Amino acid sequence: MTTPRIRPAGAQRVPASPARRVRAVRTVGGLSVRFDIRTFAVVVLLLVAAATASVVLIGTGDFPIPAGDVLKTLVGDGSASQEFIVNDLRLPRVLVGLLVGASLGLGGALFQSISRNPLGSPDVLGLGQGSTAGALIMIVLYSGSATEVALGALVGGLVTGLAIYLLAWKRGVHGYRLVLVGIGVSSIVTAVNGYLLTKADIVDAARAVVWMTGSLNGRDWAQVWPLLIMCAVLVPLVLGNARGLRMMEMGDDVSYALGVSVERTRLLLMVAAVLLTAGATAAAGPVGFVALTAPQLARRLTRSPGPNLVPSMCMGATLLVVADWASQRAFGADQLPVGVVTGVLGGVYLLWLLVTERKAGRI
């Protein structure tokens, strides 16, 4: 009631540090929504950045199109040749990039929050390796089509996720247990992948290696729709359970005491995270380190505790589109697969994370 500190009398203010302003919007009917102003601003900025990068990316290529024309074409007002290039060639590629980035960002944020560990991300846990194994089996053993390879990757990711769950989840999760089991699973699957590669003939091996780097080249609407449907189902499901996840950061006991169905929420969100990651990997190959870095970068921008799901998702989408642009432009005529760029950036970031975490005494 009477707090020693003087605070603006507005009933809608909640205590927050000067850096954080949380606002609650209330309706007459007793409904209320609460949001953090800084987080909101970060999300808006990231969306603007992702949209800008997308437009620039669509205009980039052997046949450059000015941004104005890109926008005109997108609203259905361009020339026939521009329509073809934009709508049929480049837009689906950008959309796949955005969706893959968003899925990886969200999946990574879920994993990191559930394991309460920034290292507990799908990259470190070997989900990407699992998807790779699935894809390699299709490529090397069956010379499968693109769709079959994508299916193989999806199944590989899901099986790996299940294996990690079964091995690490005895009586609740412990952050390091999950990370260690993940590293173990990851190295086993890597060995399998190496074996499959040595068995492959040179054509299949080349195809496999391109797939393994993660690339958006040649992605079209056939990849967009499944990803879009997956996101349309999973994102609302995840966000609906986000409040429980927020509580679970304080430990299983506290969240039980607060009335969170811990096991159910965790299982549901884990399945969603594995699906998001495996689906994204099936569409674009194992694009490295987006799932690891996006949530961490988002968190540093919002400076907000909690899983930061929506900012991570937007950050993932932005990162991937920007990395795709960089991979096409930054190295002259040689186009790199986007996975190379995210891998380099993410690897540097991982090292930095390990150093700072070590300084903070958490590793």
List of residues contacting another protein (CB under 8 A): 1-5, 11, 14-18, 20, 22, 24, 26, 30-34, 116, 240, 243, 246-247, 249-251, 253-254, 256-261, 303-306
Both tokens of 47, joined, read 């969306």
Nearest distance from C-beta of residue 256 to another protein, angstroms: 6
Closest CA to 149 of 275, 342, 325, 285: 285
In the bound state with another protein, the residue whose beta carbon lies nearer, of 31 and 75, is 31
Q: Is the CA virtual torsion 213, 216, 220, 224 positive or negative?
A: positive
Q: What is the total residue count of the chain?
A: 363
Q: Is 135 exposed, middle or buried (0-12, 13-18, 19+ CB in 10 A)?
A: buried
Closest CA to 102 of 212, 232, 211, 248: 232
Both tokens of 233, joined, read 């189902």
Nearest distance from C-beta of residue 259 to another protein, angstroms: 3
Contacts of 92 (CB under 8 A, 6+ apart): 219, 220, 221, 223, 224
Residue type at 333 in one-letter notation: A
Work out the angle at residue 66's Cα, subtended by the Cα atoms of residues 85 and 311, and round it to the nearest 5 degrees: 85
In the bound state with another protein, the residue whose beta carbon lies nearer, of 2 and 198, is 2
CA distances from 336 to 115, 215, 328 (A): 33, 8, 6
Nearest distance from C-beta of residue 238 to another protein, angstroms: 13
Alpha helices, DSSP H only, in 200-261?
Answer: 202-213, 221-240, 242-248, 252-257
Nearest distance from C-beta of residue 164 to another protein, angstroms: 22
Residue type at 325 in one-letter notation: W
In the bound state with another protein, the residue whose beta carbon lies nearer, of 1 and 80, is 1
In the bound state with another protein, the residue whose beta carbon lies nearer, of 256 and 347, is 256
> How many CB atoms neighbour CB 143 within 10 A?
14
In the bound state with another protein, the residue whose beta carbon lies nearer, of 187 and 261, is 261
Nearest distance from C-beta of residue 274 to another protein, angstroms: 24
Nearest distance from C-beta of residue 265 to another protein, angstroms: 10
**DSSP character at residue 4:** S
Angle between helices 37-59 and 91-115 (to 10 degrees): 150
Nearest distance from C-beta of residue 124 to another protein, angstroms: 19
Nearest distance from C-beta of residue 17 to another protein, angstroms: 5
Q: Is 119 exposed, middle or buried (0-12, 13-18, 19+ CB in 10 A)?
A: buried
In the bound state with another protein, the residue whose beta carbon lies nearer, of 37 and 48, is 37
13 three-state secondary structure: strand
Q: Is the CA virtual torsion 230, 271, 305, 352 positive or negative?
A: negative
Both tokens of 356, joined, read 């700072």
In the bound state with another protein, the residue whose beta carbon lies nearer, of 17 and 198, is 17
In the bound state with another protein, the residue whose beta carbon lies nearer, of 73 and 302, is 302
Nearest distance from C-beta of residue 112 to another protein, angstroms: 11
In the bound state with another protein, the residue whose beta carbon lies nearer, of 165 and 256, is 256
